[in-house]
């Protein structure tokens, strides 16, 4: 009897976990980020922007929506508008930054050193 209850709890927790994963913002399967660059946001207030680029390095303005990125190991849902997403936290001092994006087909990661005077 005790094993049956444990199995039922295990199944319920698995179903609850899959439901929570379905609620996370997900990439649109029709759009994918082939490459990206990190730039200082236009207002130059210490905030950084992630720019989705094509294979030639030009901004891919067809990218819009929420895409998952890992920034130094922490998950962030970045909202892209015409190929540009702004990272909410401003840069306080010089830092190393590991930025990764995982699409259904591949994972792309870049390592940056940001120097702030």
Q: Domains in the chain and their CATH numbers? A: 28-114 (2.60.40.10)
Higher local confidence (pLDDT), 61 or 104: 61
Prediction pTM value: 0.70
Which residues contact residue 77 at a Cβ distance below 8 angstroms, ignoring those fewer than 6 apart?
Answer: 24, 25, 66, 67, 68, 69
Confidence of residue 30 (pLDDT cuts 50, 70, 90): low
Predicted pLDDT of residue 97: 92
Question: What's the CA dihedral at 19, 75, 100, 63 to 10 degrees?
Answer: 70
Residue-wise pLDDT tens digits, 31-86: 789 899 998 876 667 789 999 999 888 999 999 999 999 999 999 999 999 999 99
Distance CA 101, CA 114 (A): 19
Residue-wise pLDDT tens digits, 86-97: 998 888 888 899
């Amino acid at each position: 009897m005790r094993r049956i209850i444990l199995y039922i709890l295990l199944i319920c927790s698995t179903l609850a976990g899959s439901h929570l994963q379905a609620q996370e913002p997900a990439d649109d399967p029709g759009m994918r980020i082939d490459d990206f660059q990190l730039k200082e946001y236009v207002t130059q207030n210490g905030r950084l922007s992630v720019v989705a680029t094509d294979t030639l390095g030009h901004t891919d303005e067809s990218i819009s929506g929420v895409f998952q990125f890992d920034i130094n190991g922490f998950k962030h849902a970045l909202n892209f508008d015409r190929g540009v997403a702004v990272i909410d936290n401003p840069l306080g001092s010089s830092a190393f930054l590991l930025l990764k994006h995982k699409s259904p087909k591949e994972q792309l990661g870049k390592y940056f050193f940001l120097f702030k005077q």
